[in-house]
Homo-oligomer: A and B are copies of this chain.
Amino acid sequence: MIDIGIIGFGYWGPNVARNFNGLPGANITCICDRDAKRLKMATAAFPGLKTCSDPMELIGDDGIGAVAIVTPVSTHFDLAKAALERGKHVFVEKPLTSSVRQAEDLIDLARRNGLIIMVDHTFLFTGAVQKIKELLDAGELGDLFFYDSVRVNLGLYQHDVNVIWDLAPHDFSIMSHVVPKEPVAVTALGTEHFGRGKEDVAFIAAHFDNGFIAHFHCNWLSPVKVRRTLISGNRKMLVWDDLASDEKIKIYDRGVDVRNDRGIHELLVSYRSGDMHAPRISNVEALRTEASYFLDCIEKNQTPFNDGEAGLKVVRMLEAADRSLKLDGKKIRL
């Protein structure tokens, strides 16, 4: 049984608290938020719990073994650093930090202190992403052709970050998790419309050394909501539509074969088209699975797959995308 403190009780904090609270191995002992109104809501939801408005008070509590940091990204580094220095395991919202440098420092600190950092890339714990990873790990799709992710909708304009830092952490972490290789460079294009210097439309590409491209369209100004990822390989191809109520993942027995039976100048490209299969997807709440995994990793002293390094990869891509954007789409090496 580990005592957990929650810092931040805004939009996502209550979900984090609720999920840790439902687990046998965890005990939430303190919730911290600067806003008294939010603390009142915390008390209503978890009667009898300690609350405080100063995160350092929570972090200073020696009884607490792990801290969940559910605050804006600009505060992640300071809070996580303080917690790690005090010997606490850290569960932190995505993206891990505002810069690669900060992420590297935290990873270093955690390693030296033998502590766990888990970055809350919740999507990695959905039934859909688990199924996709399973398929790609097994080589079901064959050699990959491309990866294309569209995450667009109208709304939720953020004031402190651009659309890349808001939406792309989801897609970067998913791609990084399921695609076996690592990107070597990033390019990005974007534009903004309200004179705030924060892009609201962005097109990002991750480049791999074999020419493979993963492309991401992130957009706050789209007439319709789309959450669709295409992954195409020479043996099979798949579509993940996260908004579908049923059949979120469709696997197509389609592919492309190339033959060369008439000499090098006459490659024959032929298409195969077979059945479609929509596997049943687990609908366990992803955050519950993730919270439970965090406790397991602590107990077994095991490095989670969504650790500081995984979080760093995402931050590295975000930083590169931002730089490329400023440099007219120049290719930024990772």
Contact = CB atoms under 8 A, between A and B. Distances in A.
Interface stretch (A275-283, A288-296, A306-314): A275-283
A223 B232 contact: yes
Interface stretch (A2-10, A90-98, A122-130, A236-244): A236-244
Contacts of A230: 152, 222-224
A37 interface: no
Nearest to A221: B145
Contacts of A152: 230
A191 interface: yes
6 nearest CB pairs, A to B: A223-B237, A276-B278, A157-B269, A191-B211, A223-B252, A145-B221
B224 A267 contact: no
A193 B223 CA distance: 34
A225 to B, nearest CB: 8
A269 B156 CA distance: 9
Number of this chain's copies in the assembly equals: 4
Contacts of A148: 217, 219, 222
Interface in A152-189: 152, 154-155, 157, 187, 189
A194 interface: yes
Interface residues of A, number: 64
Contacts of A212: 191
A232 B243 contact: no
A49 interface: no
B146 A219 contact: yes
Contacts of A280: 253, 273-276
Interface string A85-128: 00000000000000000000000000000000000000000000
B276 A247 contact: yes
Interface in A13-57: 47
A258 interface: yes
A137 interface: no
A11 interface: no
A234 B256 CA distance: 38
Interface string A179-219: 00000000101111111100011010101000111010101
A277 B253 CA distance: 11
B219 A217 contact: no
A232 to B, nearest CB: 5
A155 B203 CA distance: 25
Nearest to A258: B194
Given A154-B237, A276-B280, 7 more contacts: A148-B219, A157-B256, A187-B189, A191-B212, A223-B250, A275-B278, A330-B330
A223 B254 contact: yes
Contacts of A267: 194-196
Contact of A201 (B201, B213, B217, B252): B213
Contact of A203 (B157, B203, B224, B258): B203
Contacts of A207: 189
A276 B273 contact: no
Contacts of A329: 187, 205, 329-331
Nearest to A143: B193
